[in-house]
Amino acid sequence: MTPNRGDVIERVVRKKIGISELSRKLHVSRTAIYNWFEYGQVNLETICKIGEAIDYDFTKEFPEEFASAQNLKITENANSQGKQDEDGNHAVDYWMTKYISLLEKYNDLLVDMTHTNSNVNLNPRGPEHPTHLSIR
């Protein structure tokens, strides 16, 4: 019987750090790890996380999976050419720009509300309670 992915990973994990330590590093239960090993249904992302946690490179054990993932990544990068710079900073720049834009809109809205409601008393308890905001 040929070993499944789980058997191969379990052998390496037990040599390196053990199941309990791996469960702490990955923030998953030991039961989940045992299930991965027993059923062998471990996806490539999980294999990479395990490898990172135990400082081990699983490319020797699973060369086909890593090769196909590399080919997929190359294809995706070719399709998204120009959408992202080489450091992957496009997503950060996008969200930073979006955040700044929303802050500016919010600030403009507050300024407009202040000018429009300059005579409105927002203090329902009256002027005798100075701890509450009152715009005049």
Domain boundaries, the chain: 5-79
> Which CATH code fits 5-79?
1.10.260
pTM above 0.75, yes or no: no
Contact 30, 19 (CB under 8 A): yes
Please tell me the least confidently modeled range out of 17-26, 74-83, 99-108: 74-83
What's the pLDDT band for 44 if we cut at 50, 70, 90?
Answer: confident
- How far apart CA 9 and CA 52 sit, in angstroms, is 13
Average pLDDT over residues 60-82: 64
Helix (H, G, I), strand (E, B) or coil at 15: helix
